[in-house]
Amino acid sequence: MGRTRIKPGKVRLTEVAELAGVSPITVSRFFRNPDTVSPGRRARIESAAKELGYVPNLAARALASQRTEVIGVLIPSLTNNVFADLLRGIYDAFEGSRYGIQLANTRYSVLQEERLLQLFLMQKPAGLIVTGQDQTAEGRTVIEAADCPVVQIMELGADPIDMMIGFSHVDACYAAISHLLGQGCRRIGFIGARMDPRVQRRLQGYQKAMKDAALFDPRLIVTAPVPTSATMGGSLFSDLLLKAPDLDAVFCANDDLALGVLFECQRRHIAVPEQVAIVGFNDMEFMAAAVPSLTSVRTNRYDMGRRAATMIMDAIEGRPVAQRVVDLGFEVIQRESSTLQRAAATLPPQAGRISGTKW
C-alpha cells in the first residue's frame, strides 16, 4: 500500500498556516496576492513563513492551478551574437515579473525545434517565443496544442501562428545593395555563411537588387554552410576574389564576415573603400570601431526582444495587444567602408541612414 512518505523537516503551506493560526488557503492567497488578505493575518503569515523558512512548491502550484509561469524561448544558436542582444531584451523585459524564462537551443534544426517544443508542451508554458517562420507542420501543431500566446521573432511573413515581430531580411539586404549601387559600385559580391533561412532571404534581396539593376552575375556569390566567423569571412572573400577579380564591393551577410573581409583586405593591401567597399549586416558594436569604420545594416534586436516579451505578457494577462504583427524595420548605417563620394566622405560617422519599415 502507499505508505506514508512524510518527511519530518518539510515545510508546507499547512505548517505555515498552523503557526500563523489561519487556514492553508489564506496562506496560499497571501503568497499569490497579499492584498487579498487582511493586514493582521498578513503580518502573522509573513513572520510564520520566515520563521519556518517556507519555500513554495512550484510543482504543486502548477498541478493545482493547471498553469505555470514559464515562458519558453527557442533560438537557433547561442554562439551567434545576434541572439545575445535579443535575449538581453527578453530578459530585461521579464525582469521583476513573475515569469521565468526557459531557453532552448535548436541549433538551426527544425527537428530539434520540434522535439524541444514537445518538451515545452509538457510544462504547460504561459507563453512561447520562437525564432523564424520555418517550423515544421508538426512543430506548428505542437505550438497550437500549447494553447498559449506565441510570438515569432526575427522575421516577418504571411501566416503568423499568433503574433510576430521582426523585419524583412529581403528588404534590408535590398536596401544595403541599393546603397552600394548609389555609391557607384557595380560589381558587388555577396558572401554568406551558415545559410539559415534568414541569410537565404538576404541572398534573395541581393539577387533582386542586382537583377533590378541589370548587374546580376552568379559568380559574385560565395556561400558556405559552416558557422559564420571572421576567419571564414577572410577565406570566402579570397574565394570571391578568384571568381570575380574585378569586384568593387562586398556585402557580407553577417558582421563577423565583414570584419574578416576587412582584415583580408589589410593583408592584401586592398584599399577600403577605394578598391573594395564593404557592407555588413546586424551592426554589431565593433563595426563602428573598425578602421575604416564599417557600414552595416542595423536591426533592432534588443527592442525586438523587449517588445516580444511585452506582447507575450500583454496577451497572457488579457490586455489587448495593439499590433499582433510588428515590423521593426532596419537602417543602413553608412560608414567609411562604403563612402565613396567626396561629399559623403565629410559626413560624421553614422550620419548616413537609409531606413526601411512597413509602418
Partner DNA sequence: TTGTACGCGTTATCAA
Partner DNA sequence: TTGATAACGCGTACAA
Residue 83, Cβ density class (10 Å: 0-12 exposed, 13-18 middle, ≥19 buried): buried
Of residues 43, 50, 51, 63, which one binds DNA by CB under 7 A? 63
8 binds DNA (CB under 7 A): no
Please give the residues from 2 up to 61 whose contact with a second copy meets the rule CB under 8 A.
53, 55-60
- Residue 297's beta-bridge partner residues? 332
Q: 79 vs 323, which CB is nearer to a second copy?
A: 79
What does 216 bind: DNA, a second copy, none (CB cut-off 5 to 8 Å by kind)? Answer: none
What does 230 bind: DNA, a second copy, none (CB cut-off 5 to 8 Å by kind)? Answer: a second copy
Q: 102 vs 178, which CB is nearer to a second copy?
A: 102
12 binds DNA (CB under 7 A): yes
Which letter, b or e, does each residue of 179-215 get, where b requires 16 or more Cβ atoms within 10 Å of its Cβ?
bbbebebebbbbbbbbbbbbbbbbbebbbbbbeeeee
C-alpha cell, 172: 534590408
Could you tell me the smallest distance in angstroms from the CB atom of residue 270 to a second copy?
12
Q: 185 vs 276, which CB is nearer to a second copy?
A: 276
Query: To which H or E segment does residue 169 belong?
Result: helix 169-182
Between CA 332 and CA 327 the distance in angstroms is: 16
Query: To which H or E segment does residue 132 belong?
Result: none
Residues 6+ apart with CB under 8 A from 278: 249, 250, 252, 258, 261, 262, 265, 272, 294, 295, 337, 338
271 binds a second copy (CB under 8 A): no
23 binds DNA (CB under 7 A): yes
Cα 47 to Cα 27, 38, 52: the distances in Å are: 12, 14, 9
Of residues 43, 64, 145, 226, which one binds DNA by CB under 7 A? 64
Cα 144 to Cα 117, 162, 313: the distances in Å are: 10, 9, 18
Between CA 298 and CA 289 the distance in angstroms is: 15
Is the CB of residue 324 less than 8 Å from the CB of residue 164? yes
**Segment interacting with DNA (CB under 7 A) among 9-17, 110-118, 196-204, 282-290:** 9-17
118 binds DNA (CB under 7 A): no
320 binds DNA (CB under 7 A): no
Give one DSSP letter per residue of 261-303, joined into a string: HHHHHHHHT--TTTT-EEE-SB--THHHHSSS--BEEEE-HHH
What does 81 bind: a second copy, DNA, none (CB cut-off 5 to 8 Å by kind)? Answer: a second copy
What does 14 bind: DNA, a second copy, none (CB cut-off 5 to 8 Å by kind)? Answer: DNA
Q: 124 vs 187, which CB is nearer to a second copy?
A: 124
3-state secondary structure of 304: helix
Q: 12 vs 88, which CB is nearer to DNA?
A: 12
Provide the binding-site residues for DNA, judged by CB under 7 A.
1-7, 10, 12-14, 22-26, 28-29, 31-32, 35-38, 40-41, 54, 56-57, 60-61, 63-66
Provide the binding-site residues for a second copy, judged by CB under 8 A.
53, 55-60, 62-63, 68, 78-79, 81, 84-85, 87-88, 91, 100-105, 118-119, 121-124, 145, 229-231, 233-234, 256, 259-260, 263, 266-267, 285-286, 288-291
